[in-house]
């Protein structure tokens, strides 16, 4: 089986969630670095309108959202605990909150001089301005309530205190990590390791756990160019979809699928399959031919576009 290709950028917390999962799983993977804001034409060729990062790819199958990518890593590595659906209801409820509310609180709280300096190193000044404007627009059009700038730090600190209290074992829900640890780690990584902020310094259990998560590493990435990733998609055929995943009445219909929380840009195509956790959209693109784009069902809106 070829290695998964991850389209990501270094300072992206959700990309770190995936990189850390690769580390835990001990998997090799192929790394395509994308820029911090759209347009990202090659991702549009692969995934359609979907504009969040990370996106993963296996040949002509494209995986949107860290939850779907986690399922793919779990299956390849034989680590079922990485797939959210295999975690306890408590862990699932925890992840729903940390991957949305706590994520925004932490990212906004992390905004300090060090982070701005690092961002400036990876982006030109006009790029930085476009990045800032892009994120302002993203916040304004969100349907989910995003914490205000002033409330972000107290919210992030309250979250960190809950993490400290939850860490009665080596990992959040037991002696070994599961999906929830990776979801929780990436936002706090933004504060402690990217912004190098000292705001979490008085939380010994949290810091020891973050050190354990960091020690998992990022797996074994090999650099891949955008053109090579597109060629891989073009030369491949999407995986066959088993009959039981083609029985949904919407299969065969033209639909759009979009995140329902923020960055709600739809991807359009024909619904090719539906599993209990994902929608699979068939898309045609001049650059890559037919691709199947996989989205989680939860947190995404599917709309038929024809009668
Ligand atoms: N639910 C998505 C969230 C992904 C997400 O919000 N990613 C951020 C970067 S960490 C993003 O896409 N920001 C806008 C952008 O990079 O264009 C997931 O789990 O993958």
> How remote is the CA of residue 164 from the centroid of ligand 1, in Å?
25
Q: Identify the pLDDT of residue 307.
A: 60
pLDDT tens column, 132-169: 999 999 999 999 999 999 999 999 999 999 999 999 99
CA-CA-CA-CA torsion sign (107, 110, 113, 118): negative
**Mean pLDDT of the region 276-290:** 97
**Mean pLDDT of the region 174-193:** 98
Contact 127, 9 (CB under 8 A): no
> How remote is the CA of residue 307 from the centroid of ligand 1, in Å?
32
> How remote is the CA of residue 14 from the centroid of ligand 1, in Å?
6
Question: Which residue's CA is the closest to the ligand 1 atom numbered 14?
Answer: 52
- Going by pLDDT thresholds of 50, 70 and 90, the confidence category of residue 46 is very high
Give the residue, out of 41, 44, 53, 73, with the most ligand 1 atoms within 8 A of its beta carbon, to mutate for a pocket test: 53
Q: Identify the pLDDT of residue 217.
A: 98
**Mean pLDDT of the region 37-54:** 98
Question: Which residue's CA is the closest to the ligand 1 atom numbered 17?
Answer: 37
Ligand 1 atom with the smallest distance to the CA of 107 is: 10
- Going by pLDDT thresholds of 50, 70 and 90, the confidence category of residue 171 is very high
Ligand 1 atom with the smallest distance to the CA of 138 is: 14
Percent of the chain with pLDDT over 70: 100
Question: Which residue's CA is the closest to the ligand 1 atom numbered 2?
Answer: 65
Phi, psi of 21 (to 5 degrees): -65, -40
Q: Identify the pLDDT of residue 176.
A: 98
pLDDT tens column, 198-218: 999 999 999 999 999 999 999
> How remote is the CA of residue 213 from the centroid of ligand 1, in Å?
21
> How remote is the CA of residue 79 from the centroid of ligand 1, in Å?
24
Give the residue, out of 142, 180, 263, 295, with the most ligand 1 atoms within 8 A of its beta carbon, to mutate for a pocket test: 263
Q: Alpha-carbon distance 307 to 60, whole Å?
A: 28
Q: Which domains does the chain have, with CATH numbers?
A: 5-80+221-304 (3.40.30.110), 86-215 (1.20.1050.10)
pTM (2 d.p.)? 0.98
Asked if pLDDT for residue 121 goes beyond 70, the answer is yes
pLDDT tens column, 57-108: 999 999 999 999 999 999 999 999 999 999 999 999 999 999 999 999 999 9
Contact 140, 32 (CB under 8 A): no
> How remote is the CA of residue 99 from the centroid of ligand 1, in Å?
10
Question: Which residue's CA is the closest to the ligand 1 atom numbered 13?
Answer: 52
pLDDT tens column, 211-266: 999 999 999 999 999 999 999 999 999 999 999 999 999 999 999 999 999 999 99
CB-defined site of ligand 1, < 6 Å? 12-14, 37-38, 51-53, 65-67, 99, 263
Q: Identify the pLDDT of residue 1.
A: 86
Asked if pLDDT for residue 285 goes beyond 70, the answer is yes
Ligand 1 atom with the smallest distance to the CA of 64 is: 20
């Amino acid at each position: 089986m070829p290695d998964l290709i991850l389209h990501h950028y270094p300072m992206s917390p959700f990309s770190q969630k995936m990189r850390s999962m690769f580390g835990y799983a001990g998997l090799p993977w192929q790394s395509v670095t994308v820029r911090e804001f759209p347009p990202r034409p090659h991702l549009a060729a692969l995934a359609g309108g979907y504009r969040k990062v990370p996106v993963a790819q296996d040949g002509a199958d494209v995986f949107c959202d860290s939850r779907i990518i986690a399922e793919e890593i779990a299956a390849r590595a034989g680590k079922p605990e990485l797939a959210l659906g295999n975690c306890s209801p408590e862990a699932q409820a925890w992840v729903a909150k940390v991957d949305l509310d706590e994520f925004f609180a932490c990212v906004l709280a992390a905004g300090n001089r060090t982070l701005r300096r690092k961002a400036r190193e990876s982006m030109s000044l006009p790029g930085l301005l476009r990045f800032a404007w892009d994120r302002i627009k993203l916040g304004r059009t969100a349907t989910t309530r995003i914490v205000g700038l002033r409330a972000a730090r107290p919210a992030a600190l309250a979250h960190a205190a809950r993490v400290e209290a939850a860490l009665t074992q080596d990992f959040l829900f037991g002696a070994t990590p599961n999906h929830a640890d990776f979801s929780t780690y990436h936002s706090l990584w933004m504060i402690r390791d990217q912004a190098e902020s000292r705001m979490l310094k008085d939380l010994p259990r949290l810091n020891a756990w973050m050190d354990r998560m960091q020690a998992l590493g990022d797996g074994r990435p090999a650099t891949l160019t955008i053109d090579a990733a597109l060629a891989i998609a073009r030369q491949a055929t999407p995986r066959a979809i088993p009959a039981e995943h083609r029985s949904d009445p919407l299969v065969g219909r033209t639909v759009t699928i979009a995140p329902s929380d923020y960055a709600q840009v739809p991807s359009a195509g024909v619904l090719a399959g539906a599993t209990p956790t994902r929608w699979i959209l068939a898309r045609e693109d001049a650059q890559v031919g037919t691709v199947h784009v996989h989205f989680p069902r939860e947190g995404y809106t599917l709309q038929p576009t024809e009668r």
